[in-house]
Structure 1
Amino acid sequence: MSLLHVHNVGHRYRTGGLLRKRGWLQVLDGIDLHLHAGESIGLLGSSGSGKSTLARLLLGLEKPTQGQVSFAGQDVSQLRGEQARDFQRTVQLVFQDAPGAFNPQRSIGWSIAEPLRHLTDLDEAGRQARTLELLEAMGLHAEHAQRLPQQLSGGQLQRANIARALAVSPQLVVLDEALSNLDRVLQLQLLQQLEGLRQRSGTAFVLISHDLSLVQYFCQRVVLLDNGCIVEDRPVTHCTGFEHPVGKQLQSAMLPIRPDKRQARQALPMGMH
């Protein structure tokens, strides 16, 4: 059984208002997608293709207009009570806007521990130990736990953002353009760390990106969206021969992966090997 199964999903939004004629905007149509435990897929497409909308549906943040999103055999839109709480613990989303994900008046450590307070039974000492473990895994230090978000660089803040998403050991993590504001070396460092997590614990990932080279580096499959439809779904080893024009455009805009995997691994800070 697939960990995540999207069957014939469509989604639309109401448009118009008091001074404009009301109508509907179809954002997704006929989406069929599956994801197995421990698999990472890349979701590619131009702006407005429906990638972020699909991400929200996968995590149950919105209910599809038609079709069904199932996680571990359960309809996500029907989860209530303890089942809904278990699902929140099982899936996590990381946005591109790291500053917007943190309370500016709370320390980084407090924010990372927030899901631990709500979704686990860890006591204060356990939450603190887990927070420091996550910071170290993301190449940060214990001192960063005491800092406010505005006291960290953009790259440090996004590392902390990913650390918080991993706090409750989710089975699925959706990275919605989460690496796009980072430099290439840091992108590779974080992807290597997440790849290690995937291999050790079977965590599945959906990497939403405009960068085909990062998808090739990290994922097993690449899914191409255009105008709300999946136009290609293929192994990542075969993503250099796209037939669809959007895929060809992404391929022509590919950035080289530099440094190579060995060089990037040597550049990892302590705790990220």
Structure 2
Amino acid sequence: MPPAPRPAGPAADTARGLLLGLAGVVMFALSLPMTRLAGGSAAAPQLDPAFVAFGRAAVAGLLSVLYLAATGARRPRGGEWPLLALTAGGVVFGWPLLSGYAVRHVDAVHAAVVSGVLPLATAVIAALALRQRPSAGFWACALAGLVLVVGFAAWRGAGGLARADGLLLGAVVCASAGYVGGARLSGAMAAEQVICWVLVLSLPATVPLALMARPTAPVAASAWVGFAYVSLFSMWIGFFAWYRGLALGGTLRVSQVQVLQPFMSMLFAVPLLGERLDAMTVVFAAAVLAVVWLGRRQPVYSREPS
């Protein structure tokens, strides 16, 4: 008989986690441009940001009911409900609502720059919640990425911040907490089921809130395209890849791949929204890519129990 295949080791799991995390980031990178497309600007509004936020969660939640029934998923257990609620507060309510209102007042490129602090925020919350201890080199790379992103924001914003930046930073904190809560749940249940249960738990709120904010006047067809994307990919399929990647590769390490997200968002915003991308943006993007490459090679340790 041929020898049985060896189970994947930690290095293989880390590589798979990084690839899945990258796939999730690519899908999430389209979220800000598509949210802007769905909601429009303050000068030319389309769908209400509240409808986009709650409606996308309602659509994904109804799809999740079908998915959980088709796969025979088990019901969450006692200690998992608080983590589901934490995750829902971050990724179903906090991030979509705050970022949706923010991109009514700033373009997607600006929003992408400010949200570039998301990987570091996720790493900090993960270090506190998951009792993981990154090496000094890991933190140095994470901080270098943050410095590059903030430097880019200062340069492009001529040293100033828009009023919407506060909403975006609040959205970053919400998303970070939601990512960490989802990553913890992914250790106990299938990663695909995590976001599904989060969305199903949220349905009693998201469905009526979406109906209350539904459009009462015609909007452009492109707004519905944006809404469809954030419903199917940003709110559902992207999390299948993202939470599986966090579970396999480690939250602290895989979360750093998200440093790439703002620059991907900028690239997507050019053809979708007609926003401007200049040579200096490419320079900053290349520098961040180098930092991410170095960060992947820095050790991350499990904290010893006290």
- TM-score normalized by structure 2? 0.28
User: Relative to total residues, which structure has the larger strand share, 1 or 2?
Assistant: 1
Higher-RCO chain (CA-CA 8 Å, sequence separation at least 6): 2
User: Relative to total residues, which structure has the larger helix share, 1 or 2?
Assistant: 2
